[in-house]
């Protein structure tokens, strides 16, 4: 027994010694790694300050340390990703003007795609929209200035200006053999994000052009106003460049009972968050079709992707833009700041949006539906002695006349559907869903 106890104690002692040696080795490696990292940082900072002093002393043009630091910060931020940048005092003020929601400009959202300044989407009823700019247009020149190597903020600064001042954009458009010059006159940009219309008596069409702070409230009001009569909804997110995350989550919550809407994941634990739907916020379960295209970005991709993952909606149109990253503005002085990408968005299924986008369930390219009238077709009404009085009873001529006098602003007509193939397809799908639902 004593021998067994001795052997057991011996093994325990060896195991303890080994554990201590292993822990000591790990600690030593960790300390070595920390020392190595610290040395690398010091070497990198030394290299940076050496270059600064050489440029300051020998550059052909006299530049101050402050100017060099600003240029270095700008270059560093721009090389991180397409959405991070350094905001000078002028840039920071411009950003604050933008968030006020009313400014003199063109009415387009732009982004960098494959290194080119690209129109994400024109905003409804703005000078850019009326001038015919389209999602996917690549801007080569702003007036006479080439956009090659230009940042988004620099481009936005050039496109903004006094109300009434003209501007020329030289663009490259898919399908066009040569660049197009688009003449636009700047105007006050006021964004009304939610517009509604009816398709027949039982389908509600909701157009959301951007995600401002009132989107959920306005969509909720529109649905509740017609809740008794609507049997299906079409949510149009085409050319919607995004906006506020809470509004995107809230919009999905109107249609989905529970579950994950979107998650964001960053390096820091504080930037890893989940946003979920709640049954108490759901207001309708009628069939839903969502329209998307290449101008649908960011928040609109979160909405469409989440509704697709929850199998709550049928997505119709084209693949979305693919912006699924989170930016924050972090002040570094009282007058300057940096805009930094801190996380990426992930849909309920775990898939990413960034540089991938959301693929619709049914792909439909934009265009106009061509129809041909058969001039030789003969119907009952064309016969000499057709039942005119019976037709009047059925059609209700008087009521028809009254209907024609009504304001048609909130109605999508068959003629409007013929001019928008994607919308017509959405209407046909939602009608089929209504029938199958019973």
Q: What positions carry a catalytic annotation?
A: 298, 309, 323
Give the list of residues 6+ apart from residue 222 with CB closer than 8 angstroms, or none. Answer: 194, 196, 204, 206
DSSP 55-114: HHHH-SS---HHHHHHHHHHHHHHTT-TT-EEE-HHHHHHHHHHTTTEEEE--EEEEEET
Token pair for 201: 């008596």
Give the list of residues 6+ apart from residue 159 with CB closer than 8 angstroms, or none. Answer: 105, 106, 108, 142, 167, 169
CB 167 within 8 A of CB 139: no
In 3D space, the residue among 323, 303, 408 whose CA is nearest the CA of residue 109 turns out to be 323
In 3D space, the residue among 223, 225, 228 whose CA is nearest the CA of residue 208 turns out to be 223
What is the spatial distance between Cα 287 and Cα 230, in angstroms, rounded to a whole number? 10
Give the burial string for 410-428 (b: 16+ CB within 10 Å, else e). Answer: eebeeeebeebbbbbbbbe
In 3D space, the residue among 212, 103, 209, 95 whose CA is nearest the CA of residue 151 turns out to be 95
Beta bridge partners of 206: 196, 235
């Amino acid at each position: 027994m004593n021998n067994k106890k001795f052997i057991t104690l011996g093994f325990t002692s060896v195991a303890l010694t080994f554990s201590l040696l292993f822990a000591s080795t790990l600690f030593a490696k960790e300390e070595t790694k920390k020392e190595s990292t610290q040395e690398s940082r010091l070497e990198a900072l030394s290299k940076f300050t050496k270059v600064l002093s050489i440029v300051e002393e020998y550059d052909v043009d006299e530049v101050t340390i402050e100017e060099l630091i600003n240029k270095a910060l700008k270059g560093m931020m721009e090389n991180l990703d397409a959405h991070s940048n350094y905001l000078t005092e002028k840039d920071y003020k411009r950003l604050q003007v933008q968030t006020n929601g009313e400014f003199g400009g063109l009415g387009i959202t732009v982004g960098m795609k494959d290194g080119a300044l690209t129109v994400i989407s024109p905003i409804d009823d703005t000078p850019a929209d009326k001038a015919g700019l389209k999602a996917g247009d690549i801007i080569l020149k702003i007036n006479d200035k080439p956009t090659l190597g230009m940042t988004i903020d620099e481009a936005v600064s050039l496109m903004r200006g006094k109300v009434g001042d003209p501007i020329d954009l030289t663009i490259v458009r898919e399908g066009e053999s040569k660049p197009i010059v688009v003449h636009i006159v700047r105007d006050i940009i006021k964004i009304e994000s939610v517009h509604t219309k009816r398709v027949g008596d039982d389908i509600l069409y909701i157009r959301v052009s951007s995600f401002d702070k009132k989107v959920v409230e306005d969509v909720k009001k529109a649905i509740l106003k017609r809740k008794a009569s609507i049997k299906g909804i079409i949510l149009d997110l085409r050319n919607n460049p995004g906006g506020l995350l809470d509004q995107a989550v809230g919009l999905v919550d109107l249609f989905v009972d529970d579950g994950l809407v979107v998650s964001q994941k960053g390096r820091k634990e504080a930037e890893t968050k989940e946003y979920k739907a709640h049954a108490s916020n759901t207001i309708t379960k009628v069939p839903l079709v969502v329209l998307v295209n290449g101008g649908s970005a960011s928040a609109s991709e979160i909405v469409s992707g989440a509704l697709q993952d929850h199998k709550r909606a049928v997505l119709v149109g084209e693949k979305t833009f693919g912006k699924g990253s989170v930016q924050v503005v972090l002040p570094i002085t009282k007058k300057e700041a940096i805009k930094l990408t801190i996380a990426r968005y992930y849909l309920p299924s775990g898939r990413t949006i960034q540089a991938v986008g959301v693929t619709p369930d049914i792909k439909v390219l934009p265009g106009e539906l061509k129809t041909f009238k058969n001039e030789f077709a003969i119907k009952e009404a064309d016969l000499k002695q057709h039942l005119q009085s019976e037709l009047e009873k059925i059609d209700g001529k008087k009521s028809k006349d009254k209907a024609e006098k009504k304001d048609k602003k909130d109605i999508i007509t068959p003629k409007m559907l013929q001019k928008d193939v994607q919308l017509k397809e959405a209407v046909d799908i939602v009608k089929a869903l209504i029938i199958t639902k019973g």
